[in-house]
Structure 1
Amino acid sequence: MYFFKTSIRFFLFLLLFTQTIGSSIAQSCEELYVRANAMYLEGKLLQVPLELEECITLGYETEAKQTAARRLVILSYLYSDKLPEAEEEMLNLLKEYPEYKPAKADPAELKKLYEKFRTRPIMTFGILAGLTYNQAFVDQTYGVGKESLHENVQYNPKVNFKVGVSFSYLLSKQFQLNISPSYENITFETNEKALDFSSTVMTENQSWLHVPVILRWVIAPNTQLKPFIGVGGAMRYLLSANIEGAQSFDESGIADIEPSPIDIKDQRKEMLYEATAQIGFQIKSRMTHWDIFATYTYALSTFNKPNTRYDNPELIFSYGFVDNDTRLNVLALNIVFSYDFYKPKVLRKYKNID
């Protein structure tokens, strides 16, 4: 017990001592900044960096104070005609605070120096979530009954979900290359009257690994709300596919067939390719941003395997169902929360130029 009490007292003493020392250093650095600012106003420009060097290395207690100290050093070098030193200090400032921007009231020399640097993010990485809504287009219908029956097939889409990640490489302020692999679910119903005396409803669920590659054009890159459009292509890899059927008969004396899941992955193509378009906007926040956008994918081929349409006897004999040649276009509403990665440097056109 004695050891426990002694340890607590020692910890409290150490905490108090650390806070006292920290407060003393902060106060000392405040005084040094005031003195350095006075030197700057008096024209003693080369003394300013020496005065603030230690406090900048230790770090001021707030971003505003640290930025103000670095800014004062940069201005001192600029007005002393020491451009390389000013560039080095600006680079240090941007590495520490990548989203720093000169204020409107700042000297033109500081703004001109800032414009020499790459200050946009170089890449972003985020988490994606969204909703999917599909549109079916039938190239050719098939069935067990008369063609006049199965050619009137109806597809009813359903809303489903997608989750994934999103990676963007910024080619410039206005152009981005985006890759957003996601796990995507698609669900739809097929309604048809396979025979004169019965109706069939088939509910199909497909799960895909969806990988779109999009070139985006950011229309207004310098605003907080940045609208964009994108075009590209996508690949789908099939993870699973199953179907549930329900058949009802016109005659009351015949029992309806209740739904039961049937695995039909072998009757679906493993890989599909699509053309893709996007429209949306980005909302910038500190070191992060939100993407909210709609994506429309146009299938370049049907999802079923034509040579396996008669391979599943349960579908044919229990439900009178035969695969149609069908393409699925998918409309998705997406939201992404991303972290922005920066790597500031002097722009190539300003290197080796005084």
Structure 2
Amino acid sequence: MRVYLTITLLILAVSAYAQNCTQLLNQAEDNYEAGRLLGIPDQIEGCLLNKGFSAEEEVRARKLLTLVYIFTDQEARSEQAMINLLKTDPEHRLDPQVDPAELFFLYDQYRTKPIFRISFKVGLNTSNVVQIEEYATHNTLVHDNFYNGSTSSGAGDYTVDSDSSASDFDGLSTRDFNLWGEILAQKEVYEGVDINAGIQYRTSSYNVDTYINQENLNSSITNSQTYLRLPIGASYTLWSDNRDRVLLPYGFLGASFDYLLKASSIGSRAGGTAYTSSDIDLIATNQVNRINYSFMGGIGLKIRFKTHFFTVEGRYDTSRMNYINGNDRYTNSEYTFDVGYVEPALSLDFLSVSLGYTLSIYNPKKL
């Protein structure tokens, strides 16, 4: 019971103190309007030190102090008061109908934009396989591979007239979606133009259906990757200087250094003697290249939230080097003979979507 009573008394005391600070601020503003400036700092500084104001009241109080110091010719204090105002309310906006020219003159001497921004993104990606050169265990020129359910030409099935069965070969697998996350540091270098760099963690996979020499003798394989990526890029945001706009579309281009942390494959063969492989470590068997680089581009939408942003984004990444190490593609006997599959030369592209949050970092100072 005593604990509840103590808490209640504390709440009442805090509420009374806040009400008293509100009254003091109103009186100080009345004094300013009446030209009684000298006593204003003593009226409100105690409430500022003790956090007695609401967020909106604190902005009013710090702005009032700045005005008082300007008009009492206290230059050093007016400059510090302006910094405190901008720390409390980054990108604080002045009203030409209300605020005096002296305040505008001082305000224009300060950095009011973010020194940089930090962007956090998470999303889904799906792989597109770009086949560079064909390799297979048998009959590769007539039996195309299906990647994620379709051939490189986009077909979901085909018929080989010269095949003895003269029947359809079908893509049996579907497309997978995997997670990725990214942290970027962004710096505005020109109005609306940002450069950025950061780190990305991406998981991905693609599925393959391959027919060895007839429609009832097929293999299905899932190949998975985990990448650590170092992207750099530049973006352009429309209407970035308009702080009244909530929705800000943007586009970006960039490149990335990609390092393969993990690669594995699991496959099965149907027809004849059925077989399912173990989880094959493709890095340990030296069947993939760990170093790659990519180009990327995309569009997005920033949704303004005070001085920060929520983002919705779509992008496309295209790898520029062969994912497969051709020198050792035939060395894994389980892959080559038991599953009945050999990786062709290929590169991986990715279609991605993400949601994100961009945090603006400020450090107001006199320019």
Distance 1:60 1:191 in 2: 68
Change in CA separation of 1:15 and 1:301 when aligned onto 2, cut-off 3 Å: same
Question: Per-residue deviation at 1:31?
Answer: 3.8
Question: Per-residue deviation at 1:23?
Answer: 4.5
Change in CA separation of 1:255 and 1:16 when aligned onto 2, cut-off 3 Å: closer
Question: Per-residue deviation at 1:328?
Answer: 0.8
How many residues align? The count is 334
Change in CA separation of 1:224 and 1:82 when aligned onto 2, cut-off 3 Å: farther
Tell me whether 1:322 sits opposite 2:342 in the alignment.
yes
- Report SS of the residue matched to 2:85: helix
What amino acid is the match of 1:344? Answer: P
Q: Indicate the residue corresponding to 1:170 in structure 2.
A: 187
What amino acid is the match of 1:100? Answer: H
TM-score, scaled relative to structure 1: 0.83
Tell me whether 1:310 sits opposite 2:339 in the alignment.
no
Tell me whether 1:211 sits opposite 2:230 in the alignment.
yes
Tell me whether 1:26 sits opposite 2:18 in the alignment.
yes
Tell me whether 1:271 sits opposite 2:271 in the alignment.
no
Q: Indicate the residue corresponding to 1:58 in structure 2.
A: 50
Question: Per-residue deviation at 1:330?
Answer: 1.0
Map 1:66-105; keep pairs closer than 5 Å: 66-103=58-95, 105=97
Distance 1:202 1:31 in 2: 73
Distance 1:141 1:15 in 2: 76
Q: Indicate the residue corresponding to 1:296 in structure 2.
A: 316
Is there any run of 5+ residues in structure 1 with no aligned partner, and where?
1-7, 349-354
Question: Per-residue deviation at 1:274?
Answer: 0.8
Tell me whether 1:234 sits opposite 2:247 in the alignment.
no
Please say which of residues 50-59 and 235-244 is displaced more in the overlay.
Answer: 50-59
Change in CA separation of 1:18 and 1:99 when aligned onto 2, cut-off 3 Å: farther
Change in CA separation of 1:290 and 1:159 when aligned onto 2, cut-off 3 Å: farther
Matched-pair contact (CA < 8 Å) for 2:180–2:203: no
The partner residue of 2:351 within 331, 335, 340 is 331
Tell me whether 1:119 sits opposite 2:139 in the alignment.
no
Is there any run of 5+ residues in structure 2 with no aligned partner, and where?
150-174
Please say which of residues 121-130 and 202-211 is displaced more in the overlay.
Answer: 121-130
Please say which of residues 21-30 and 153-162 is displaced more in the overlay.
Answer: 21-30
Q: Show structure 1 runs of 4+ deviating over 4 A.
A: 11-21, 80-84
Q: Indicate the residue corresponding to 1:160 in structure 2.
A: 177
- Report SS of the residue matched to 2:212: strand
Q: Indicate the residue corresponding to 2:35 in structure 1.
A: 43
Q: Indicate the residue corresponding to 2:167 in structure 1.
A: none
What amino acid is the match of 1:205? Answer: S
- Report SS of the residue matched to 2:309: strand
Distance 2:267 2:42 in 1: 80
Question: Per-residue deviation at 1:115?
Answer: 3.7
Matched-pair contact (CA < 8 Å) for 2:322–2:345: yes
Q: Indicate the residue corresponding to 1:183 in structure 2.
A: 201
